[in-house]
Every structure is written in structure tokens, then in C-alpha cells.
Amino acid sequence: MKQIVGIQEKDTRTVDELAALEREGMEVKAEGAVHRVRNMGEIVFVVLRQAEGLLQTVFDREGFEQAGDIREGCTVRVEGVLRREERAPRGVEIAAESAEILSVPAGPLPLPVDKRKLGASLEARLDHRAISLRNVRERARFRVQEGIVRGFRDFLYSQGFTEIHTPKIGAKGAEGGANIFKLSYFHRPAVLAQSPQFYKQMMVGVFDRVFETGPVFRAEKHNTRRHLNEYTSLDFEMGYIRGMEDVMGMETEMLRYVMEILKREYARELELLDVTVPEIPFIPALRFDEAKCLVSETYGRRARAPFDLEPEEESLIGTYAKETFGSDFVFITHYPSKKRPFYAMDDPQDVRFTLSFDLLYKGMEITTGGQRIHDYRMLTDKMAARGMTDEGMEEYLEAFRCGMPPHGGLGIGLERLTVQLLGEDNVREGCLFPRDMGRLTP
């Protein structure tokens, strides 16, 4: 019998740990992947890639040769002496005395990952995703993405939300429509979840406030720079609201919190990507019809789709919000009822519109949310008026029949939020392994 007590400390150090060490001349050890080898003849620079960043090690010719065939793609363990070196990453390097090769590659890399900017096409980078992300700028995006998700959760925990995990295979889609992936579930027809909508609403009756971060699936036949067929949705739903403004206020404060966590804990990645996170003193909110008119008047663009915003209109509203209010973000409220799902609360002042909203970030929709109908009869009446049956929604409706508090919530597309923050122009840049109409691998 062995006893496993816990983490067995290693004697190797990260580049940050080395930079924090006081004593130059200290014997140190470090591990990493060989990111670049620059052979100057008498000395050889071997730059290691670690999770935290790059670490420069320097070999003399003899030491380098003794170590074996150190080349790009190897992983190694280097022993040597710590030196300050201003020109090296984080201002330190290891004067290597010996090295052990931990693993070797079987072939050359298909992309020059050691370049500052990778330079390959998006398609090439996605085809070789496990390699292209070894570029330190490419991978930094997903560190920032981690910070977004982490901030989202931590903020909601602090506001009394409970995290939930809801099924992705179900009998019926929450939004309906044709955009549903279908599968056979032990010989029964089933679908993949378009959103956790029904579940998070049901759980408001249990926990008052809930959130989920997980995948959703949309079989939309849109192959655009804005669409993914599988994406990560950041969802929350909250009870005892006074109106949709409570949901919008929660999102505003959540975003502010996320930006703070990014500034505090992901500063290095932001710097590497040359990204400044926005200050969010407030977010302006425009009514849907008002926004449509403003864009038409201000930019001379004639609106065509009366019940929806076209991508170009969203983009112009974004421009307007930036020029007029200095804000990257703008809420659009009171979307037409006929373009919103049945569970959206209609505006009692004018039932052609709903108490719902989108949030645009730099002119792209990143959130859809709103107040929901909480009254059983109002909900079933609206379903009947739309010609819907309650098939597959019996348990959802039961929650309402048994009483539900006034509530609302939203869903945020994580990849869209990520790329808008980073200033990338394709949502695929914000997804480790995108799924679109043409892409099912890697």
C-alpha cells in the first residue's frame, strides 16, 4: 500500500518565480517546451515556453551538444545559474549547465509558432489548432476568455446565484424553430439544447437566482463571421425583479466586475494582445424603434426589416453609442413581440413590444435577455395564441402552474464577447475548436 498525501513539490521553477528571486547566481532548474533555438556558434539561446510565458536559457556550445538533439518541439529540463538579463523575457535567463530532454517531436511544426504574430490564415490556424495555439499571442486570447468566465461566475456567486448544470439532450427545444440538432436517444427522437432557458426558469422557482456556463447548439445555416453552431453560453436568471432593468443592471455590474478581474489578473495577456479593457460607468439603453429611427436619420440608412435589426443596423447603433455616449456597449430594449419567443413578457403599455433587450458590444449583439412571463394563464394564453401545444413542455408549465416569482434573465455568447473585447473580426477567433457548417474537426 502506498499513501498519496498531496502534491509532491517539484524543484523546477516558472519564469515568474525566477523573476521574483532575489539572488543572482543561484542554482535553478526549469522545464518547458523548446519554443525557439537560436544557435550563435559559441552560444546557443534556447527559449522555453511555459504556461506563464517564455523563459530564455543560454548554453555554451559544448553544453548544448552534450544535452543531445535539442530542437523546437522538444520538452526539456534545464539546470543552471540564474542571471539578470534585461533583453530576456521578464528580465531573467538561465545560464544552462546541463539539460535533460523529456520528450522529442517526430516531425517539424506545420506553422512558425515562435513568431510574434503567427501570420497564417484563420483556416490554417484552425486546421492546426493544437499547434497554432502554441503561439503565445494566439493562446493569450483564451487566457482572457478564462478571465471572462471566471469573473462572470465569481460575480454571480457574490450576488447569491446558484450554479446549475442542466441537460443538453432533451425532448424539445426551448426556442423552437428549425435550428435544432436532432438525434436518436435509445430509439426516441431527441434534440440538443439551444439554450438552458426552460431549465433555468424552472430553477428560479427553487433557488431564486441561478446561472449556468455551458455549451448550446444551434443548427443555423449561417456561415458568417458572427455565427457558431456550438458555442458557450453564459446564462443567468433571477427572480423577484421589478422589471427588465434589474436584469440589465445585473449585467452592467457583472461586466464591470469582469473588466476589473481582467485588469488585475490578466494584465500580461492584455498587454501581449494590445487590448485595453473598457471602463463601464453606465450603459445607455435605447428602445428598438428609437434606435432604428436614430440610425436611419443619423446615417441615412433606410431600414428594411421592420421587426428586427440587421447586422449593419446593429453596427451603426454601436457607432452611434460610441459617438454620442462614449460607450462601447448599448442596450436595445422593447423588441417586437413577434420576433421574440413566447415566454417573453409583453409590454403592458403596448403588447406589440416586449420587455426584452439585446446588449450590443461594439455593434454586435452579445446578449439577449428580458423579463419573462411568470403567470401561468398569461403564458398558456400566449402559447395558444401562437398555435403552440404544451407537448414536451408539461413539466416546464407545471412550474408556472405551481407558482413562479416575477423573473428575468439573459444569455451571453462567450465567444462573441471575447472577440469584441479583443478586437478580432471573426467569432471563430474566440473559440478553441469552432464548429460551423463546414467544420467538424479538429
Which of positions 224-263 make contact with its own copies (CB under 8 A)?
229-230, 232, 239-240, 242, 245-246, 248-250, 252-253, 256
Q: Using CA atoms, how far apart are residues 142 and 50, in angstroms rounded to an integer?
A: 15
What does DSSP say about strands 162-163 and 54-60: parallel, antiparallel, or unpaired?
unpaired
- Answer for which of 25, 68, 177, 281 binds its own copies (CB under 8 A) is 281
Cell matching residue 206:
427553487
- Residue 218 among known ligand-binding residues: yes
Cβ proximity to its own copies: between 88 and 131 the closer is 131
- Residue 90 among known ligand-binding residues: no
CB of residue 352 vs its own copies: minimum separation in angstroms? Answer: 20
Cβ proximity to its own copies: between 103 and 121 the closer is 103
Amino acid letter at 207? Answer: F
Is 202 among the residues that bind its own copies (CB under 8 A)? yes
Cβ proximity to its own copies: between 276 and 324 the closer is 324
Burial 197-216 (b: 16+ CB within 10 A, else e): bbbbbbbbbebbbbbbbeeb
Residue pair 366/147 in contact (Cβ under 8 Å)? The answer is no
- Residue 372 among known ligand-binding residues: yes
- Residue 65 among known ligand-binding residues: no
- Please report where in the chains the cell 428594411 appears, as a residue: 304
- Answer for which of 80, 151, 369, 406 binds its own copies (CB under 8 A) is 406
DSSP readout, 29-63?
EEEEEEEEEEE-SSEEEEEEE-SS-EEEEEEEHHH
**Which residues lie closer than 8 Å to 9 by C-beta, 6 or more apart?**
none
Q: Using CA atoms, how far apart are residues 50 and 53, in angstroms rounded to an integer?
A: 5
- Residue 188 among known ligand-binding residues: no
Per-position x/- string for 6-35, each x denoting binding to its own copies as judged by CB under 8 A, each - no binding = xxx-x-x-x----------------x-xx-
First-to-final CA distance of the chain: 41
Q: Using CA atoms, how far apart are residues 88 and 247, in angstroms rounded to an integer?
A: 47
CB of residue 166 vs its own copies: minimum separation in angstroms? Answer: 6
- Answer for which of 79, 85, 146, 310 binds its own copies (CB under 8 A) is 146
Q: Using CA atoms, how far apart are residues 74 and 12, in angstroms rounded to an integer?
A: 17
Cβ proximity to its own copies: between 169 and 384 the closer is 169
Cβ proximity to its own copies: between 64 and 211 the closer is 211
Single out the segment in contact with its own copies by CB under 8 A; choices: 61-69, 297-305, 374-382, 419-427. Answer: 374-382
Residues numbered 309 to 368 that lie near its own copies (CB under 8 A) are 325, 331, 333
Cβ proximity to its own copies: between 143 and 362 the closer is 143
Instruction: Output the CA torsion 169→173→174→180 (10° steps).
Output: 110
Q: Using CA atoms, how far apart are residues 395 and 372, in angstroms rounded to an integer?
A: 17
Is 285 among the residues that bind its own copies (CB under 8 A)? yes
- Residue 95 among known ligand-binding residues: no
Cell matching residue 428:
471563430
Is 395 among the residues that bind its own copies (CB under 8 A)? yes
CB of residue 116 vs its own copies: minimum separation in angstroms? Answer: 17
Residues numbered 80 to 119 that lie near its own copies (CB under 8 A) are 102-110
Cβ proximity to its own copies: between 165 and 264 the closer is 165
- Residue 416 among known ligand-binding residues: yes
**Which residues lie closer than 8 Å to 287 by C-beta, 6 or more apart?**
332, 333, 334
Single out the segment in contact with its own copies by CB under 8 A; choices: 114-122, 211-219, 295-303, 343-351. Answer: 211-219
CB of residue 86 vs its own copies: minimum separation in angstroms? Answer: 26
Is 127 among the residues that bind its own copies (CB under 8 A)? yes
CA distances from 107 to 72, 74, 75, 104 (A): 10, 10, 14, 9
Amino acid letter at 335? Answer: Y
Cell matching residue 110:
506545420
Cell matching residue 117:
504574430
Annotated binding site: 175, 218-220, 226-228, 365, 368, 372, 413-416
